Structure 1
Amino acid sequence: MSLSAPVLAFEENSGLDTAESAASCALKLVRHDALSKADLSAIEQLAHQPAARHSGNVFFAPRAVAASASLSRGSIDWLLWFQDGRLCLAAPVVISRIASFSLVRIWTHTYAPLGTPLADKRLRPDLLFEELADRGFSALACPLLETGSTLATAVALPGGRQDGRAGFWSGIAERAVLTSDWTEAAALSAQRKKKLRKMQRTLPLVHRVLRGDAARDEGFRQFCELEAMGWKGAAGSALKQSDTALAYASELVASHGAQDTLAIDSLEDPQRQGNQSVAMVISFEIAGRGVVWKIGHNTDYDAVSPGYQVILAASRRFAAENTPIWIDSLAGPEHPLVGWLWPQRLTVGTLVVPLKGSHAPARTLSGFYQAEARLRQVARALRQRLRR
């Protein structure tokens, strides 16, 4: 996709006088550790509303965002946008300066690879962008934004018409996603079904689902042990091997455990002594929308593909429990487990919106994100080659 031409533009005014509309809007930038009880309540309500199916983000739990502050080089603030007294957009952001330009960037990181802001379907992005420009910001960057999210679709005009202030996409990529259309019968070929039956005869594994306190405490502890036993432990990238990563993960899991939006699918060997889990997957889900966040398995059981079996077990559970569903794998189509098991795709990319003045800073920043995305692809391919 070309970076030289804008591809998105602001939504046309809906017929309301701009001055009158702006008068009923309010923008708040609040430090992550200074959110009021009212702010926290409004964020939680926005995250759980039906529109969250189109623009939700399970990583934007305030406690988890606060825990991730040590991963940021700058201060993390919450951007809260109100229309007619209703919170219509919420996202953690990092504010920085590049030369003479001021940038607002939605906060994402390695352990939270999704930048889609929480948004209400009544969001008026044109008014939000005008207010950010009035505050002196030059551009808004939205990394890893779903192209079908409320924010992305709201700034696109029918027929591709533009009003002169456009956004730039870069780093476009696909992810495997589980939707309401998924069925095991359609996903598995006859050969895969035959192989699965053989593995289950060789070693029957018991599927257990942990939720609430059991998932937060026992389940998460066992998962961390299991992950450290696998290739991530050998590579030094397991959660247990980083105090910062473990602190963030613990807060994220605890936050979702308290909201009953955490589940850990576990496959267990009843004959095994001690920790009987041989494969586990952690997922978060709100209103039918969520992510498969982490997976770990015991490599001693590779002969029966425990990773594949636990993802399949989780897929069955999602399909049985939720209608409609939208579960992001956070993995690309080339992923050896979910790439073929979940044939549906979603598209993410980085959207940079110039807020005032020249488009040059936004275009340059978009080019930087594009180069960064290419480097990540090269690094991912190299890791996969080394693991073979």
Structure 2
Amino acid sequence: MVDIAHQAAINPASAKDAAMSRALVPLTAIEPGQWRALAQRAIEPNGYYLPGWELAVSAAARGRADALALRAFDGSSTRLIGLMPVIPLWRAWKIPLPALVSAHPYGTLCSPLIDREISSEAATRLLQRAREAGAHALILRDVALDGAAMISLNRALGRTGLKPRVLSSYIRASLDATRDGEQLLREALGTRKLKELRRQRHRLEEHGPVAFEVARKPNEIKPALETFLQLEASGWKGKRGTALVQDAGDATFIRRAVPALAETAQCEIVTLRAGAAPVATGIVLRHQDRAFFFKLGIDERFAKYSPGVQLTLELTRHLCADPAIASADSTASADHPMINPIWRGRFAIGDVLIPLRRNDPVVALIHAALIARGVTREMVRSAVHLIRK
């Protein structure tokens, strides 16, 4: 598939291309004030599609640059009511078919921003804009399958006799932050496990007083971010070459995104110290009443004290004590060995194919290509596993 934005640029005279250029624009063309206002009204929080974060991702992050904006306005064409960062299917997976894929925002949630005040109109107009862009299907990656954004899109599809197709799904851990933190931890971990963790914390205190710190203000968060980057690179991610600071684009993205969100009180960095030494640190995004646990870095020299778990216990207490936060998304993989035993809430995340035209043979081709790609990837993973064994 030729890049849709490029198609619009090479032949601007035609009405079709003009519609395509209206439907898809660079993310930088979205007025920041309108984007922020839509985020405040969004029917479902998504910290990874806040402007300060997604613009930094699209400008610099490895393999994620130059996303396009699928946008919807109300009838007056002045109020932004829907926004979905996207890329063409060809660019996403080298499949030469006319579809758009949600742009991955260096997080694991791609639920679009849909205006809760007019969610039906917003969802309908987003789908129409995708049709005008020449797409026969939308592929939403990592969306909350039962979330409010997906429900709005399902209703809009239903009015035209279309149904989404779930391509894959898994269950992810979350935190009910409306509960008392101590009671929640007792129920999740049990007396014996908490006693063992307290013993490890007492051992950690032999290296200095243990303190939990929260950096929120821009002047606080920049040095806290550098501490996070150093810890992440010092561990297994550094050995594997996937730490953020090891790629120039990724380092640029995170150093832009974190201070930008701190300016709007939508990001904080939590750190656990033993004396002067940081032993674990994490980045947390905040959108509306939801927190998003982006990444965790630990000093592996303190591994026997479970520093990542110790930090997560403190973060749990911190979020449960905050009246502004009702829930937290772990943004972790399925069956994550550290977070799943602590955060016992669960919700479904999946990849969804949304057809945009009825009885469209192209949609069947797109679906078949995606299935074939999934089967091939699974065969490669299995082969690598056998070779390693």
- TM-score tier, shorter chain, comes to 0.7 to 0.9
Letter paired with 1:199: Q
Identify the match of residue 78 of structure 1 among 63, 69, 74.
Answer: 69
Q: Deviations over 1:143-191 (max 9, x none)?
A: 1111122331124359x97753222111111111112355223222111
Q: Does 1:61 align with 2:54?
A: no
More moved, 254-263 vs 84-93: 84-93
- Give the match for residue 203 of structure 2: 202
Q: Give TM-score scaled by structure 2 length.
A: 0.79
Identify the match of residue 243 of structure 2 among 238, 241, 254.
Answer: 238
Q: Does 1:168 align with 2:165?
A: yes
Letter paired with 2:149: L
Report how far residue 378 of structure 1 moved: 8.2
Partners of 2:177 and 2:101 lie apart in 1 by 32
Q: Deviations over 1:89-112 (max 9, x none)?
A: 112122356887422222115x22
Q: Residues 115, 382 of structure 1: CA spacing in aligned structure 2 closer, same or farther, 3 A cutoff? A: farther
- Give the match for residue 362 of structure 1: 363
Q: Secondary structure at the match of 2:351?
A: strand
Letter paired with 2:29: A
Q: Residues 135, 209 of structure 1: CA spacing in aligned structure 2 closer, same or farther, 3 A cutoff? A: closer
Q: Does 1:106 align with 2:106?
A: no
Q: Residues 380, 83 of structure 1: CA spacing in aligned structure 2 closer, same or farther, 3 A cutoff? A: farther
Instruction: After TM superposition, list the pairs within 5 Å mapping 1:329-340 onto structure 2.
Output: 329-340=330-341
Q: Does 1:130 align with 2:119?
A: no
Q: Secondary structure at the match of 1:334?
A: coil
More moved, 73-82 vs 326-335: 73-82
Instruction: After TM superposition, list the pairs within 5 Å mapping 1:322-333 onto structure 2.
Output: 322=323, 325-333=326-334
Whether the 8 Å contact between 1:171 and 1:350 is mirrored in structure 2 is yes
Report how far residue 115 of structure 1 moved: 0.9
Whether the 8 Å contact between 2:286 and 2:292 is mirrored in structure 1 is yes
Count residues with an aligned counterpart.
347
Q: Secondary structure at the match of 1:169?
A: strand
Partners of 1:142 and 1:201 lie apart in 2 by 46
Letter paired with 1:234: K
Partners of 1:373 and 1:326 lie apart in 2 by 32
Instruction: After TM superposition, list the pairs within 5 Å mapping 1:161-310 onto structure 2.
Output: 163-180=160-177, 182=179, 183-204=184-205, 205-270=210-275, 272=276, 276-310=277-311
Whether the 8 Å contact between 1:105 and 1:140 is mirrored in structure 2 is yes
Whether the 8 Å contact between 1:176 and 1:338 is mirrored in structure 2 is yes
Q: Does 1:31 align with 2:26?
A: yes
Report how far residue 61 of structure 1 moved: 3.1
Identify the match of residue 118 of structure 1 among 93, 113, 126.
Answer: 113
Identify the match of residue 40 of structure 1 among 24, 29, 32.
Answer: 32
- Give the match for residue 11 of structure 2: none
Whether the 8 Å contact between 1:267 and 1:277 is mirrored in structure 2 is yes
Q: Residues 325, 76 of structure 1: CA spacing in aligned structure 2 closer, same or farther, 3 A cutoff? A: same
Partners of 2:55 and 2:378 lie apart in 1 by 26
Instruction: After TM superposition, list the pairs within 5 Å mapping 1:335-354 onto structure 2.
Output: 335-354=336-355
Partners of 1:232 and 1:99 lie apart in 2 by 30
Unaligned runs of 5+ in 1: 1-26
Report how far residue 131 of structure 1 moved: 4.3
Whether the 8 Å contact between 2:201 and 2:310 is mirrored in structure 1 is no
Q: Secondary structure at the match of 2:141?
A: strand
Whether the 8 Å contact between 2:23 and 2:133 is mirrored in structure 1 is no
Counting helix residues as a fraction of each chain, which structure ranks higher? 2
Q: Deviations over 1:46-77 (max 9, x none)?
A: 2123xx4x522212233443333354478422
